[in-house]
Structure 1
């Protein structure tokens, strides 16, 4: 009881450095509002609407990514295995983390899930944070090896190796989440006379704040600053290599649905990493801001609250935007997504291109009937192409027979 009260007073003094017995309020609701803030956030309604939109887009998109990779054998590449791991991480955040955070917006206290629920909440967010950045870093390293050392990549970059690395990444993520999780617990508020404030349980830091601050600073350095610096260097080197590599022209000509070009895959992953870094930057700024500030003022508290709201939005956007990037920049993902759409949408989407493009394509490809079917990658088959080519060949045959008939007729006249 005494240790709990001492921890409570330390936390309260950090957030309210000018608190004293003179600030004591008789109402437990007013006391809790003073010590822990309002029970319901003023932004609960608009934030819930924003989070709901992100939730729907993110869950549907990441489920499609997982289904595409599991269902299509040609999508089970080492690179896509890392993207599958990233999609699982995003789904955990959206399905388990977001509903809990929305609930806390509407009812900040009491925390209803007990000590183990608090541990689960903390370890979940920490684990997915570490797993996401490690997955992005690993796929960047794999892409670097594929560009700089392509022959070595073909020998070592296998699906079994990717699976082992992914399992290792998740184990490390869980282990590294333990230090921060150990600093959290259920905090109860007490009146100055020592009596317990009803419904005051909150899931927060219960250890000395300097321990929490050190953990946050170290993990932000190891799991954001350094990985993003390494990734930036790797993509700069890849950019130089791809720009100077003249063999890309031949690579572009040999692109098929089964084997996309190195440049297109690298471009998609570069955009993925760039968006990831932008979306996660406010999250780490929010944590570092809290860990470095010692003497809180009203203006600093207002800035922190603003950063906290922005970081939450961008944090969840990062979990929803990846499938959109795949659909826009990857032909393979785009065609695979379309195959998973309900039949009514596929039929509607298939009719429009055929009606608009079929006549134009038949004219453009008329001179070469045999080459057209193999050269048009991933294009829908138009049934009238064969008839056009057949009519063209039959016309040539008629002209040829007519010329032969004229030659024979002239020869008979000369003999006669």
Structure 2
């Protein structure tokens, strides 16, 4: 395209000169190059898409080994895939056709026809063709989002807005609840063990005290006689 481009100053109606950049295809090699780009970047890709997507559609409809779920759902999913493939091919053709057709029209018709067409209408048509040309590069994700539920779910998960985030949140909540339960159970085990140790120590102390009292009773009985000894015995018991 750089070899076909010329930079020059053109005279306007009021006699002033303005710099212009023109891409001229008025000889054999520039015209051949433009036709080559149309064939390589429009005709051949369109043919490849039609052939490959037709093979995919036939394989989906005729292959009985691909079966998941009921037959009604299977047929529904296959039709959805075929519709999506056909829409992708149709949008590719629809987006690229205006720009390629405009290019061919400029090459074929004389310059006088383009001048008579009007500069405003010409640039309006040119901008529309360019917008459609650029739209082809961004329309496939939009089509997949409109026609595929799995693509929408995956896109939402990628953005952190899908069910995966909720599931993860629920899982974390369950994990936190389990951790708190384990923690409380560990605390209860801790207090149970210490309470049992404490009760055992109390029992041991009571047994030792009882033994000491049983040892002291005879001593008191030997020193004190009569009713005083009996009162001391009863108090120790």
After TM superposition, the score normalised by the length of structure 1 is 0.32
Q: Which has the higher contact order (CA 8 A, sep 6+)?
A: 1
Aligned to 1:277: 93
Q: Which residues in structure 2 correspond to 1:156-175 (within 5 Å)?
A: none
Pair 1:207–1:296, CA change in 2 (3 A): closer
Within 2, Cα distance between the matches of 1:205 and 1:320?
Answer: 27
In structure 2, how many angstroms separate the alpha carbons of the residues matched to 1:291 and 1:206? 10
Aligned to 1:153: none
Number of the residue aligned with 1:326: 144
Summarize the Cα distance change of 1:226–1:207 in structure 2 as closer, same or farther, 3 Å threshold. closer
- Look up the match of 1:188: 8
**Which structure 1 residue ranges, 5 or more long, are not aligned?**
1-179, 254-260, 355-377, 384-416
Structure 2 CA distance for aligned equivalents of residues 190 and 329 of structure 1: 51
CA contact (8 A) 2:10 2:19 kept: no
Structure 2: 5+ residue runs without aligned partners? 71-76, 174-237
1:204 aligns with 2:25: no
Partner of 2:197: none
Q: How many aligned residue pairs are there?
A: 159
Deviation at residue 271 of structure 1 after TM alignment:
2.5
Q: 1:291 — aligned with what?
A: 107
CA shift at 1:327, angstroms?
1.6
Please tell me whether residue 221 in structure 1 is matched to residue 42 in structure 2.
no
Secondary structure of the residue aligned to 1:217 is helix
Q: Are residues 286 and 252 of structure 1, via their aligned partners in 2, closer, same or farther at CA, if it must alter by over 3 Å?
A: farther
Describe how 1:12-411 pairs up with structure 2 within 5 A: 180-185=1-6, 187-190=7-10, 197=17, 200-205=18-23, 208-248=26-66, 250-251=67-68, 267-297=83-113, 298-300=115-117, 304-305=122-123, 307-341=125-159, 346=161
Larger radius of gyration: 2
Structure 1 residues 210 and 190: CA distance shift in structure 2, 3 A: same
Alpha-carbon displacement from aligned partner over 1:14-64 (angstroms, at most 9, x marks no partner): xxxxxxxxxxxxxxxxxxxxxxxxxxxxxxxxxxxxxxxxxxxxxxxxxxx
Deviation at 1:311, TM superposition (A): 0.9
CA change 1:188–1:251 in 2 (3 A) is: same
- In the alignment, is the contact (CA less than 8 A) between 1:290 and 1:304 conserved in 2? no
The answer as to whether partners of 1:283 and 1:315 remain within 8 angstroms in 2 is yes
- Quote the RMSD (CA, aligned, Å): 3.9
What SS does the corresponding residue of 1:319 show, helix, strand or coil?
A: coil
Alpha-carbon distance in 2 for matches of 1:236, 1:207: 37
Once the two structures are TM-superposed, the CA of residue 217 in structure 1 deviates from its matched residue by 1.3
